[in-house]
Chains A and B, each alone.
Chain A
Amino acid sequence: MKKGLALVLALVMALSLVACGSGNNGGGNNNGGNGGNGGNNGGDGGSAGGDGMNISVLYYNYSDAFISNVRNEMDAKWAEMGITANNQDGQTNAGTQLDQVNTAIANGAQALVVNAVEASADETTQAIVDAAKNANIPVIFFNREVSDDVVNSYELAAFVGTDPAEAGHMQGELIGNYLVENYDAVDLNGDGVISYVMFKGQENNPEAEMRTQYSVEDANAILTENGHPELSYYDSSAATQYLVDPNGSWSSAAAQDYMTTVLSAYSEANGNMVELVIANNDDMGLGAITALQTAGYNNGEGSTVIPVFTVDGLQGIVDAINAGNATGAVGQSATGLAEAVATLLQNYQETGDLMSNTEGMIVDEACAKIRVPYTTVS
């Protein structure tokens, strides 16, 4: 009986693995590629054709929704171009990522595409560039911005991505303009000041820091220009002017827990309702919306809507905006990012130079950096 149970359990686990695996790999046809992927636990990249390159793509974290979108877009690109890609999950650990870089090079990768875990520390990204330099293969960083010095230190290094400060600036502009147009409607208690709550994804992350800072600063600039007072944080005595995910994972659950807690003390009935929600990413915005909905706000037409602004602009928040439950988002383009990276690799394949053909792209002057513009959704 015991053995039977063991067998059943093992079978169930194996089956569920197989089921998930096959569901995922449905589209890819494996022609073997150009070998060399020996001991590495390969990613789920579609491997087609035999004439393409063999590259390694290193993501900072598989569980990030935006990065998952980028990964899907890139996988489609590689399949199109006949490139064999070996995807790796850095698990938000810079040390793990460096190990993955070295393993990839040892494994014969012909190019590295890196979404750096620790992009703000030059030592870490320089180590990646140096490893690529020693192997004489190109390295393209994407999404998280590395410094000019690091990119300039090697002729076969480039960066594709957004300017982290820009998302904050654009969010601030979006908020400022919206408030100027709808000031009295947003100011629920009519005291002339808009009180807001800010959800920060993580401490010590350049993107989170800049989004948190510039969104409020820029919105304030627009407000004062138009003769309105600056935004006021909902709790004036708080030590920090934001609520941060305790796990540093930009999660909707953290924003939800915070928002219900805030709403338990700040309400329209008390005349101190939070009148604006700013979130560092979509998920935190969605968590806040759920809390607002439970409290009777943001339920589409006919309900009082507290404006919610996010960054990422993925499907979930677009749906919420269309339903009238969120107000605006700054969007990153996963497709644009993947296309730009693919173009650079194609350049390298054809001419041996990453930046040989950057027609129609926004390129920095002094550095091999390509900017994929943010978009706004509102």
Chain B
Amino acid sequence: MSQESKELAAKAQKFSAKRLGDMVMNNMLIIIMVVAAVGIAIYKPGFVSPSSLVNILSLTAAYLPAALGIAGCIVLTGTDLSAGRCVGLTACVSASLLQSVEASNKMWPGIGTLPVPVVILVAMGIGALVGAFNGFFVGKFKLHPFIVTLGTQLILYTLLLLYVQMGNNGGNTIGNLAESYTSFVRDPLFSIPAANGASIPVPRYVLYSIILAVLMWFIWNKTTFGKNMFALGSNEEAARVSGVNVLLTTILVFALAGAMYGWTGFIEGARVAANNANTGLNYELDAIAACVIGGVSFVGGIGKISGIVIGVIMLRLIFVGLTFTGVDTNYQYLIKGGIILFACALDMRKYLVKK
């Protein structure tokens, strides 16, 4: 081999090693996730049993819609702190409107049990309204969403506290839900027969979350609104100059997020089936963490639906993994915090390399 070609070969090898390193770094989270999963599975084989995988799937489905909503706000370089309280309010409203007729402490005895689709519209409507309110203040007065949604979060908490005191409820936990509601959310979509003769039900809300994820993917990637959202998140001035209606887009992004919280509230209302003023507390933090882990950047204009799904799975894997291994709960926060930091650092690293 000539000297020249040797040099070329060395260069090529170096190049590919660097590329390999980049690839490893860019997918580091997934690699860690897989390694951790394999480790837990060796320690506790039950972790990868069909019933456990279905459980991780269901938990992911339960927490996905809120993350899908909040991601839009993050793409606009913002955030949304009102998500948790919004979930709490809509969960309590949904549950109170769908209590069974025989419930001993039925909150609104006069209304019977409303049809489920009506309540879905009410919950998502309330959420969208709250979101539009947020978006209006962000878009119109150029306030940072952190401030606006901090305010809304507090306002919503008052509404929530007042709401659970209304009717016959008196601040109690709202339960005793109608059959139509719980079966709509929790009934098995289909059951997987397990090796030992039992069957593993996959709840219906898993299907709804998949539909929502597809719908959001379509909105983000195939509609003018989605393109406007990313344009606005990348560079507001450029977006404005090229004719994007900044105020309207902002309001719509937040309203869409709000509708997702409303949906989450509706699902949580029946999934947990015990709702009070505590419901939804800190949901926004998990949702934001999932987005960040999934590569939705706080820099703005960057994010993928698939990333969000991975982020939510990741957080649920941590939860399930720690429960399975029986790790001291004191360390759960450390692990969660470490992963969020690590994910953000990786994310910024990509951004710095581009510069």
Residues of chain A touching chain B, judged by Cβ–Cβ distance below 8 Å, are 2, 5-6, 9, 12-13, 16-17, 20-21, 23-24, 44, 62-65, 67-69, 71-72, 89, 203, 235, 237-240, 243-244, 246-247, 249-253, 256-258, 260-265, 267-270, 282-283, 286-287, 289-290, 293-296, 314-316, 318-320
Contact = CB atoms under 8 A, between A and B. Distances in A.
Interface stretch (B167-175, B225-233, B306-314, B345-353): B167-175
Contacts of B173: 65, 252, 282-283, 286, 314-316
A17 B159 contact: yes
A253 B132 CA distance: 27
Nearest to A200: B329
A317 B212 CA distance: 34
Given A62-B277, A289-B273, 15 more contacts: A6-B140, A9-B136, A12-B133, A24-B165, A68-B277, A239-B326, A251-B279, A258-B323, A261-B324, A263-B55, A270-B46, A270-B196, A283-B173, A316-B105, A318-B104
Query: Which of A24, A63, A295 has the most chain B CB within a 10 Å cutoff?
Result: A63
The list of the 7 closest CB pairs from A to B, nearest first, reads A68-B171, A238-B326, A63-B277, A264-B55, A286-B274, A252-B274, A265-B46
B203 A294 contact: yes
A258 B272 CA distance: 11
B80 interface: no
A16 B272 contact: no
A157 B176 CA distance: 41
8 contacts: A69-B171, A72-B165, A251-B281, A252-B173, A252-B273, A258-B323, A286-B274, A290-B272
B9 to A, nearest CB: 52
A21 B155 CA distance: 13
B198 interface: yes
Interface string B36-53: 000000001011010110
Contacts of B334: none
B25 interface: no
Interface string B323-338: 1101111101100000
Interface of B: 44, 46-47, 49, 51-52, 54-55, 58-59, 103-105, 129, 132-133, 136, 140, 155, 158-166, 170-173, 175-176, 186, 194, 196-198, 201, 203, 247, 251, 268, 271-279, 281-282, 319-320, 323-324, 326-330, 332-333
Contacts of B201: 294-296
B55 A261 contact: yes
Contacts of B103: 319
Given A12-B129, A269-B196, A64 B170 contact: no
Contact of A319 (B52, B170, B175): B175
A320 B105 CA distance: 12
Contacts of B59: 257, 260-261
Nearest to A12: B129
A260 B104 contact: no
A203 B51 contact: no
Contacts of B49: 264-265
Query: Which of B136, B271, B272 has the most chain A CB within a 10 Å cutoff?
Result: B272
A213 to B, nearest CB: 16
B274 A287 contact: yes
A64 B278 contact: yes
A295 B199 CA distance: 10
Query: Which of B46, B47, B173, B330 has the most chain A CB within a 10 Å cutoff?
Result: B173
Contacts of B54: 264
Contacts of B268: 253
A268 B159 contact: no
A308 to B, nearest CB: 12
A264 B164 contact: no
Contacts of A67: 171
B273 A290 contact: yes
A16 B328 CA distance: 44
Contacts of B273: 252, 286-287, 289-290
B159 A240 contact: no
Contacts of B46: 264-265, 270
B243 to A, nearest CB: 17
A248 to B, nearest CB: 10
A316 B175 contact: yes
A286 to B, nearest CB: 4
A181 B282 CA distance: 42
Given A256-B272, A261-B324, A290-B272, A319 B163 contact: no
B158 to A, nearest CB: 8
Contact of A24 (B162, B196, B271): B162
B172 A314 contact: yes
B162 A269 contact: no
A127 to B, nearest CB: 26
A257 B319 contact: yes
Contacts of B324: 261, 265
A247 B333 contact: no
Nearest to B319: A257
B198 to A, nearest CB: 4
B186 A294 contact: yes
A326 to B, nearest CB: 11
Contact of B276 (A2, A24, A65, A294): A65
B176 A319 contact: yes
A44 B275 CA distance: 22
B271 A9 contact: no
Contacts of B44: 265
A168 B18 CA distance: 61
A271 to B, nearest CB: 9
A88 to B, nearest CB: 13
A287 B129 CA distance: 29
A63 B276 contact: yes
Given A69-B170, A247-B282, A260-B55, A283 B274 contact: yes
A319 B175 CA distance: 9
A249 B282 CA distance: 10
Contacts of B320: 261, 264
Nearest to B186: A294
Contact of A246 (B170, B279, B332): B332
Given A17-B159, A294-B186, A268 B276 contact: no
B161 A316 contact: no
A287 B136 CA distance: 37
B170 A249 contact: no
A69 to B, nearest CB: 6
